[in-house]
Chains A and B, each alone.
Chain A
Amino acid sequence: MKNPINGLNKVFDNRIRLGVMSILVVNEEVNFNDLKQMLEVTDGNLATHLVNLEDNGYIKVHKGFVGKKTNTTYSVTKAGEKAFSDHIAALETMIKGVK
């Protein structure tokens, strides 16, 4: 049996990053505050992980305005979608492998 842990994505080791991806694959575009509310994390913590995901090319950032307030929204990239589904597939193999 090949080692299933190989398929797991290091970037998704973190619960917050995994949470962000889980939200973005089922929602077209989500803003910072909604992500914060759903994941119950602090601003700084979330921001760090978002930068990490962006650096990996998994999410896209759109800076916009609502009135005079900035409204930053995030969406998943093709690469992000692929990485996420590969990660899920690896998790599935792990469960099947142990059975």
Chain B
Amino acid sequence: MSEQTRQSDTLQEISDIKRIMERSSRFISLSGLSGIAAGICALAGAYFANNIIADYYNKYNSGAGYSDKDFESLKLKLLLLAVIVLVAALLLAFVFTWRRAKQNQLPVWDLTARKLMWNVLIPLISGGLFILAMLQYNEWRFVAPACLIFYGLALVNGSKYTLTDIRYLGYLEVILGLINTQYTGYGLYFWAAGFGVLHIVYGVIMWWKYEKSS
């Protein structure tokens, strides 16, 4: 064996090791388009929520005053809207990531996907239950900040198992949530900025960085 072929064999071996280590520890199929789609869902949701809340206050201010029935219906509508937005965002995010995995001929549901999912779900489910407990005691002011903070922590935690860029999105969500605690009347705007605008910006950057050429 000549020195040169031996060197190229060695380089090949090292690059194989590196590739397998990467592939087995990080879920790399997460698509930027998933972020953009989730962001658009969030903005649409915020728009409808804004309308629902405006309708409620119009009726309230037009002399009808406070009624338990109206307030219950407002809560129900907002909760329903939140569920629809969540399902739509997750579904679209999944579709684009699934598509990218197929294009790269990688399995979409493997060891790395399970690890990522598990590590994102721990803070996310804790946050979800915490927010439901707040609603149970009619504590509305910190719903938006808690959504942003727990979601941000979930992303920071998950970033160890996927493309690391998502960590910065996580930091920004947490910071936005913490600022929101001082401006509780503007929850919907902070929510729209965090889940809408930040997702879209992140998605575009990720798409630009990793997917544009392929």
Contact = CB atoms under 8 A, between A and B. Distances in A.
Interface of A: 15, 18-19, 22-23, 25-27, 30, 34, 37-39, 88, 91-92, 94-95, 98
Interface in B12-53: 13-14, 16-17, 20-21, 23-25
Contact residues of A: prevailing secondary structure: helix
A91 B8 CA distance: 11
A22 B107 CA distance: 19
B17 A22 contact: yes
A26 B21 contact: yes
B13 A18 contact: yes
Interface of B: 3-4, 6-7, 10-11, 13-14, 16-17, 20-21, 23-25, 107, 110-111
B13 A37 contact: no
A25 B6 CA distance: 25
Contacts of A22: 16-17, 20-21, 24
Contacts of A23: 20-21, 24
A30 B20 CA distance: 14
Contact of B7 (A26, A38, A39, A94): A94
A37 B107 CA distance: 9
A43 B113 CA distance: 22
A15 B6 contact: no
Contacts of A26: 21, 24-25
B84 to A, nearest CB: 34
The list of the 6 closest CB pairs from A to B, nearest first, reads A22-B20, A34-B111, A23-B24, A26-B25, A98-B7, A22-B17
A46 to B, nearest CB: 14
B3 A38 contact: no
B107 A88 contact: no
A26 B19 CA distance: 12
Contact of A34 (B10, B13, B14, B110): B110
B10 A38 contact: no
A44 B8 CA distance: 30
A40 B11 CA distance: 22
B21 A25 contact: yes
B110 A37 contact: yes
A18 B24 CA distance: 13
22 contacts: A15-B16, A18-B13, A19-B16, A22-B24, A23-B24, A26-B21, A26-B24, A26-B25, A27-B25, A34-B111, A38-B20, A38-B24, A88-B14, A88-B17, A91-B10, A92-B14, A94-B10, A95-B10, A95-B11, A95-B14, A98-B4, A98-B6
Given A30-B111, A94-B6, A98-B3, A38 B17 contact: no
